[in-house]
Structure 1
Amino acid sequence: MFSTIATIQISIIYAQTDTAACNSCCTAGVPGIPGNHGNPGVSGPQGMNGVKGEQGMNGVKGEQGMNGVKGEHGMKGDNGRNGLDGIPGKLGPTGPQGLIGLPGANGVKGEKGEQASQQKSAFSVVFTSNPGRHAVSPMKYDTIITNVGNHYNLDTGKFVCAIPGVYVFHVTSLKSSGGGSVLTRIMKNGSFQVSTLVSATGYHSASTMVVLDLVSGDQVWTQPYGTSHNYYHSGSNRHCSFSGFLLYAA
């Protein structure tokens, strides 16, 4: 390559010398036709890397490309960790009633409890002698069979309530064989409650019962209805009686 360059330089020197000699004695001729381009020269050696240029401006955003082809289904991933418990939901509606279950086994028998103290009041009185035509007044039975609490007064013929509560009273009366009748009333504080009536000929008896709600101090007794209904008969067989007892305390 260096010999070619030297040959070209020598040719240029001779040409310049001829032209100078010619110009001194000759007139310049007409320029000739340009020659053909020569062949491209051989590539020179690679130069050194230049200095890095400044960063250029951001380019304009390009148009969105077309959707690509859907890829193949990937492999199933591992199970993730359990999440935190959520907030409890609202109470749902009540479901239908279930079937009745089988009876359970009997429990162990408990210990015997203490009996609660109960207030007591009861009496039964009779005529052991014949009262005959009893006056229209409280009937004073002459014999006490039972007097629990001592609430029946033999002198007045009256039961006096000492324990408020509900009481049961019962009376039985026997009519003599003669004429007339027997009508016996149960009285409470002077007010008529119930009565028995016997008016047939001969010996006949009748009885009745009543339940009364009493307060402390109330009085209960029996007495004939009137002088035409007081033909009583009694004796050692105790045909006429009056009884009462506390059913339960108030």
Structure 2
Amino acid sequence: MYLAIAIKLSIICIIQAAAQGDTQVCSGCCTAPAGIPGIPGSHGNPGGPGPTGMKGDVGEKGEKGNQGSDGRDGLPGKIGPIGLPGATGEKGGKGEKGEQATTISQPKSAFSVAYNVNPDRLPVSPMKYPLIITNFGNDYNKETGKFVCQHPGIYVFQFTSGSSSGNDNILTSIKKNGQRILSSWESGSGYKSASNMVVLDLVANDEVWTEPYSTSHNYYYSSSYIYCSFSGFLLYASA
């Protein structure tokens, strides 16, 4: 509305100036009234970050804080390499003379006996080996065919039986104080042999020997080559 009035006043001034021939510019009639202020515009978008400022001065050192609590123990480290050998130490002085050691005699017992002749059939009783190869300690009795323990301890016994019969078998046992401990069995035709071994814990006067199992499995063969033998020895004495 105000704009329309201003336009009309401007037109009137122009017409009057033309009619009067006035060359001077209209100073009052042609001046329009001030307009109403416009509505404020919207805020613009934020500008981009400015350039990095200059580095400031180093601040003063602060006061020392309280001591913190101990941290947890770390994991064990790896074992380091072996170090170089150290220097040789000085030779030590001569030690004092001690008492002379007493040598304790260890008991010994060992034997090996055999048939160097053909035994053929034998009675069901302790086998009496005629050939004494070794009898250290004289613990094997040739007359009875028995080993008699004189030194308590752990003993090892072994025997071998040979046969040449085509049909008969032989079965030999090791006995301790009359009790059968173990046996060996031989079967088949032609020459044959069988062995066995045992470890026994004996006390004084225990007896050990070999014996045929029966009269029906009893045909031994030996010669100067020795196919039938019996051996034993003390492994270690009891404390």
**Fold match by TM threshold 0.5:** yes
Q: Which amino acid aligns with 1:200?
A: G
8 Å CA contact 2:156, 2:235 repeated in 1 = yes
The correspondence of residues 27-66 of structure 1 with structure 2, limited to 5 A, is none
CA distance in 2, matches of 1:247, 1:99: 45
Alignment CA distance shift 1:158-1:114 (3 Å): same
CA distance in 1, matches of 2:85, 2:139: 50
Please, what is the CA RMSD of the aligned residues?
Answer: 3.0
For normalisation by structure 2, the TM-score amounts to 0.58
2:202 alignment partner in structure 1: 214
97, 105, 120: which one aligns with 1:132: 120
223, 227, 230: which one aligns with 2:211: 223
89, 109, 134: which one aligns with 1:121: 109
Alignment CA distance shift 1:229-1:104 (3 Å): farther
Secondary structure at the counterpart of residue 144 of structure 2: coil
1:181 alignment partner in structure 2: 169
CA distance in 2, matches of 1:125, 1:138: 13
177, 180, 199: which one aligns with 2:187: 199
The correspondence of residues 64-103 of structure 1 with structure 2, limited to 5 A, is 99=79
1:232 alignment partner in structure 2: 220
CA distance in 1, matches of 2:83, 2:133: 54
Structure 1 unaligned residues grouped into runs of 5+: 1-95
Structure 2 unaligned residues grouped into runs of 5+: 1-75, 92-100
Alignment CA distance shift 1:221-1:103 (3 Å): farther
- Corresponding position: 1:242 with 2:197: no
For 1:198-239, what per-residue CA distance to the aligned partner results, in whole angstroms no more than 9, with x for missing partners?
A: 011111000000000000000000000001111100111111
Structure of larger gyration radius: 1
Secondary structure at the counterpart of residue 112 of structure 2: strand
Q: Which amino acid aligns with 1:188?
A: K
Aligned residues: 153
For 1:102-154, what per-residue CA distance to the aligned partner results, in whole angstroms no more than 9, with x for missing partners?
A: 6988999xxxx987532100000000111101111000000100000000000
- Corresponding position: 1:150 with 2:115: no
CA distance in 1, matches of 2:143, 2:229: 16
8 Å CA contact 2:166, 2:188 repeated in 1 = no
Report % sequence identity.
58
Q: Which has the larger displacement, 175-184 or 128-137?
A: 175-184
